[in-house]
Amino acid sequence: MKAEEVIQNLNLENLENLPNPDALETIWKNLTLPELKAPDTTLQSRILFMAYMIFMPVKALWTLCFQNLFKVKPEECPVCATQKKKRGKPHIVLHCPYCKRLMHSQGTNGRNPTFHCPNHGRLSIRRTYEARVFFILQALRATQLLVANLTQKKVAELLGMTRTFIETTVATVAQNLKIPPPEIKGDLVLLIFIDGFFGSRIAILVGKANKSVFWTFGYENTLTITSFLENIKKGVPPESTLVITTDGNPAYIDPIRSVFPEAIHVRHFHKDWNQAAIHYSKNGQIYSIHGPIDMLKKKTTAKVTVWEGVRVNPQKPKKASVTLEGETKKLLDAVTHINASQNYDGRLLQRFTRILRRLTELVLEEKLEKREVLEVLKLLEIRSIPLKFRNKLRARIKEFREATSKPRKGSGDKRPYVKKRSSTLIFKGTLAEAEEKVEGVREVVEVLNQAFKGGKLVNSPVEGVNSEVEYLMSSKNASEDVLKITLFNHFLHTPLKVEDATPLSTSNITRRPRVPIRPLQLLEVRYTDRRGKTSSRVLLVLSVNGSRVSAFCFLKGKTLTFLKSRMEILHAQDIPFP
């Protein structure tokens, strides 16, 4: 089979304008299985080879099995057959944990997918084994597609899941990914985050340099960054001094302040490549030092501001461990008796009420945590109980919740927990003067001098090279053919484990010579507009003004202004004067 036939049969909606057939043939020949080795005469190698040949097709076909197990078409759905309004797209079908009837997916409730049962209506599924298998397979496949550079929206359409569920999956992967601990020099830990070549919104470790530089995907969200930082925190000693450098993305601020409240956060702004901000905490206040990236060496102009209303996310409380002793043990016995009972009389209700009110007193006296009682109440199979007795139980539980609920903070118009972030300028001058007049600046400068060795405050010495590469557009002067081959080769690999994904780097891309742009020049370019749409155009250059080019576009039939940073020159030809 030729390479053209293979590639034509693949679903490559995410990749357009593939290379010429010669390049495709080269790609097809270079796609090898590095772990596949021919067996020798030993029995062990033959067994491994047979196991590999058996399990690899199963691994490749598991997506098909997944679709046949859980996904149905609207005309084949038994739940849609009982309703007037049927679903328009294929959807997920699971079994109700109470009546074992089929139910289909119906939107989301927060981050938990919900399903509709004909008997019990809308409910969230968490505890059934079938649902666990479904969620594990969904999360695994979503992670594979995201590593393959598909966007969250595209993955949601392919798998029939919500983008909220994908964000939760990505955060879980980032929190549990196996990463080596950072390098520690004395009591100093330096972490550097660099946005890589990938357009998927997933912040996981895909590469590592000098044991302190973490390469991440671009467009991270706060949830995923927080999960990734919690993963890194496992390898950082609690008594160490931490310096974290990122780009100017504000999505890093709140997660770093939440996970590492005492860390020094350096932000390198890439808009002009010459400004940096240093965030640090002192006596419960958040301070920021703004200045050029070489202010440590030259002690140049710097501004110091103090922040108010910085949101620090409190750590989520751990699940309560039910202590089977005392009144909690009595409540657990009562709940077990209610679940197994066939006769729901008044004595059963009186026993439950008496124990629950005693626990209310213990919670109010702070001798018992409320979460422990709620964990026991979750074991109550409330839906399988008759309606009359069920309403009485719910009334007792509501009484317990209202009696132990705490009043909200704030009164009237003053609500400090929704206070917006604001800053106040407290100093403007040189960095040397700030060390004398502002508290904490001298200590921060000493730590940064040790971390950066008196150099510039940048989050990468090669930031200009490692800029983000979008599909079908090279980073400034990258070679078009090599870029396409690299992206296409990477797109075909969806490993079972996320850490097995091979990251792109500058070594994969061959840069072409820069083409100077002059007036009266005919250009064939690949241009990406503000919406991210890429198209090929033929331009007649009229004038060049810095980063802007005024040219006649033969595609649009009029004169337009183009940015050099969004332009990839495929061919340039000077028009000779007559």
Residue 528 is part of a domain; what is its CATH number?
2.30.30
Total domains in the chain come to 4
Tell whether 237 and 260 lie within a shared domain.
yes
Q: What is the dihedral of CA 159, 163, 168, 173, to 10 degrees?
A: 60
Q: Let me know if 58 is exposed, middle or buried by CB neighbors in 10 A (0-12, 13-18, 19+).
A: exposed
Q: CA torsion sign, 343 to 348 to 349 to 350?
A: positive
- Mark which of 127, 149, 169 sits at the end of a domain: 127
Structural domain includes residue 441: yes
The rounded Cα 395 to chain-centroid distance in angstroms is 41
Tell whether 185 and 263 lie within a shared domain.
yes
Structural domain includes residue 30: no
- For 469-518, give the DSSP string: --TT--SSSB-HHHHHHHHHHHHT---SSGGGPPPP-GGG-PBPPPPPP-
Tokens of 115: 């399903």
- Mark which of 87, 111, 127 sits at the end of a domain: 127
Tell whether 398 and 423 lie within a shared domain.
no
Inter-residue contact 307 to 423 (CB < 8 Å): yes
Structural domain includes residue 567: yes
Structural domain includes residue 409: no
Tell whether 187 and 309 lie within a shared domain.
yes
The rounded Cα 423 to chain-centroid distance in angstroms is 29
Question: Tokens 């985050």 label which residue?
Answer: 193
Structural domain includes residue 261: yes
Tell whether 532 and 554 lie within a shared domain.
yes
Inter-residue contact 458 to 293 (CB < 8 Å): yes
Q: φ, ψ for residue 189 (rounded to 5)? A: -125, 125
Structural domain includes residue 444: yes
Q: CA torsion sign, 361 to 365 to 368 to 370?
A: positive
Tell whether 115 and 239 lie within a shared domain.
no
- Print pLDDT tens along the chain (578 aa): 333 443 344 443 433 333 334 433 433 333 333 444 445 556 666 566 556 555 544 444 444 455 555 667 777 777 777 777 777 776 777 777 777 777 776 654 445 566 777 777 766 655 566 766 677 667 766 766 665 556 677 777 766 666 777 777 777 767 776 666 676 766 777 777 765 433 333 333 333 334 455 655 445 667 778 887 888 888 888 788 888 888 787 888 888 888 888 899 988 876 666 788 899 988 878 889 988 888 888 787 888 888 765 555 444 444 444 445 677 888 888 888 888 777 777 888 888 888 888 888 888 888 888 888 888 888 788 777 888 888 888 888 888 888 888 765 544 544 444 445 677 888 888 888 888 888 888 899 988 888 877 777 775 543 433 333 333 233 333 444 444 444 444 433 333 333 333 333 444 444 456 788 888 888 888 888 877 677 888 888 999 998 899 999 888 888 999 998 888 787 888 876 54
Tell whether 292 and 381 lie within a shared domain.
no
Greatest Cα pair distance in the chain = 107
- Predicted local confidence at residue 551, as pLDDT: 92
Structural domain includes residue 491: yes
In whole angstroms, give the CA distance from residue 266 to residue 448: 9
In whole angstroms, give the CA distance from residue 159 to residue 139: 10
Q: Identify the domain containing residue 280 by its residue range.
A: 179-315+419-452
Tell whether 295 and 336 lie within a shared domain.
no
Structural domain includes residue 10: no
Tell whether 381 and 496 lie within a shared domain.
no
In whole angstroms, give the CA distance from residue 95 to residue 97: 6
Tell whether 355 and 393 lie within a shared domain.
yes
Tokens of 350: 């009186």
Question: Tokens 């996310």 label which residue?
Answer: 313
Tell whether 531 and 560 lie within a shared domain.
yes
Tell whether 207 and 306 lie within a shared domain.
yes
In whole angstroms, give the CA distance from residue 146 to residue 170: 9
